[in-house]
Amino acid sequence: MPALPAAFEARMQDQLGPDWAAFAEALNSPAPVSINYNRAKTEAPIYEGSPVLWNRTAQYLPERPSFTLDPHFHAGRYYVQEAGSMFLAYVVEQLRQEQEFGTALDLCGAPGGKTTVLLNALSDDCIVVANEVIKSRYAILRENLAKWGRANVIATHAGSERFSPLARRFDLVVVDAPCSGEGLFRKTPDATKEWNPENVALCESRQQDILDHTLPLIAPGGILIYSTCTYNEGENDDQVARILEKGGFETVPFDLPEDWGIMPTGLGYQFYPHRTRSEGFYLAVLRKEGKATNRSTKAPLRYFTKVPKATEQAALSWLDPEAQLNILTTPKGQLYAVPEGALPLLSILSQSLPRLDPGTPVGLMKGKHLIPDHALSLSLHLHPDTPVADLDKDTALDYLRKAALPARPGQKGWHLMRYDGWGIGWGKMLPNRVNNYFPNHLQVRMSLP
């Protein structure tokens, strides 16, 4: 990797003392490869590998395969994720032993790794809001949430200051704050060229801003999880200390096995690559003082509306009746399937945020018929009688490349294109061909090695 910035190296030598040599050596070793399985789509591991100690649905892989050429990846059966950041799974599962969470907010959500961890670790009844302020990253967040297949999530695109009408609404808030990225130097060597003390100070200021907007959103008795992918105290423990100085919060400690190698910092927990099979990651947990109160609301929906009965029946015919989902529409006619429990939160979000996408995008009506959304093909809530076309791996890759597929005599109309039992998109069967509806912007352009 490129030479480390001199100021960073001097600070880390002081911070690590005798551990510095092992840390520097680790930065010059290959980064581990790890994935987190979608617990609802994978009962047994797809790959050979070893477990990630702090996340029971994750594993390390001995080498990095071509995920782009794996239909399992496109079906949303796993997410490629840095191992240290999956410590969030252990933390949430420990917290759930004492309290349940009805609402959660991942405030800095893109590209979606933390949100998918939350959806794995929380109850399916918990409504999870996944937010991203940058437009291009919001699109990536939505794609990854679609792959995870759950309707109990609301994607939002807004700055943290826009959430003020949701004061005291969230039982759990995760702030994986934008940071100087010191913990990614091994994984992204070019990041060393962008590092400088001035940028670290800028990150600290931005983090303070985000946290100032975040703290009022947490319900009494609720939890804040703050994390970064960096090492310095200014972005880590000092931010937590600042929250504690304001009052109203206390840290939540955890007893961790020593052989995990995670280092307590006093107020949080630090991952170092020479002590754990991970990159640099920091996490702290705080609980807000007080007891939960009734947060019911009767605010009307804005932008989203209920649909006429005929449209509702057409949309619900594509969905599992046991899911008991509501069908909402936008003025442009986009249909969404949303759990009943999400409606109170959605009513406030729709009043205050500029862009949101709730639940599962279902599709658009064309006359009396539904044109299904790609996200619906990845949903866990599809009707069990949905017509399917099972594909072998070569044909699945042809489909993902938008290649022409051979006709399937005897099959007609919309079919779920499925690989190993899980949807990867839609195809429409015609007498002499199959129309490939895999989205153009997701098309696989890579060839086999």
Domain CATH number, residue 436: 2.30.130.60
Q: What is the CATH classification number for the domain harbouring 161?
A: 3.40.50.150
- My answer on whether 272 and 242 are in the same domain is yes
Q: Identify whether 134 is part of a domain.
A: yes
Q: Are residues 135 and 268 in the same domain?
A: yes
Rounded CA separation 339/55 (Å): 27
Looking at the domain assignment, is residue 40 inside a domain? Answer: yes
Decide if 227 contacts 282 (C-beta within 8 A).
yes
Give backbone dihedrals phi and psi of 243, rounded to 5 degrees, phi first: -65, -45
Residue 272 covered by a domain: yes
Domain extent, residue 120, equals 6-288
State the pLDDT at residue 295.
67
In angstroms, the first-to-last Cα distance of the chain is 26
Count of domains forming the chain: 3
Residue of 110, 108, 227, 228 lying closest to 180 (CA atoms): 228
Mention every residue, 6+ apart, whose C-beta is less than 8 A from residue 288.
215, 218, 219, 220, 221, 222, 223, 224, 248, 249
C-alpha–C-alpha distance, residues 341 and 346, integer Å:
9
- Contacts of 132-139 with CB under 8 Å at 24 or more apart are 132/108, 132/156, 132/157, 133/108, 133/157, 133/158, 133/159, 133/160, 134/110, 137/110, 137/111, 138/110, 138/355
Q: Do 155 and 69 sit in the same domain of this protein?
A: yes
pLDDT of residue 299: 75
Same domain flag for 257 and 145: yes
Do residues 206 and 138 both lie within one domain?
A: yes
Domain closes at, from 270, 288, 306: 288
pLDDT value at residue 449: 62
End of a domain among 346, 372, 398?
Answer: 372
As a residue count, the chain comes to 449
Indicate the angle between helix axes 113-121 and 87-95, nearest 10 degrees. 30
Q: What is the pLDDT of residue 44?
A: 92
Token pair 């059966």: residue: 77
Contact, 226 vs 286, CB < 8 A?
Answer: yes
Structure pTM? 0.96
From 288, 319, 344, give the residue that closes a domain.
288
In a domain, 86, yes or no: yes
Q: Are residues 163 and 243 in the same domain?
A: yes
CA-CA distance, 289 to 294, in Å (whole number)?
16
Q: Which residues of the chain have pLDDT under 50?
A: none
The reply to whether 377 falls in a domain is no
Q: Is the peptide bond before 5 cis (omega within 30 degrees of 0)?
A: no
92 & 146 share domain: yes
What is the longest distance spanned by two Cα atoms in the chain?
A: 72
The reply to whether 148 and 256 lie within a common domain is yes
- 132 Cβ contact partners less than 8 Å away, ≥ 6 residues apart: 108, 109, 110, 138, 141, 155, 156, 157
Residue 1 lies in a domain: no
Q: Given this model, what pLDDT does residue 297 score?
A: 66
Residues 331 and 430 in one domain: no
Is 148 found in the same domain as 77? yes
Instruction: Specify if 155 maps to a domain.
Output: yes
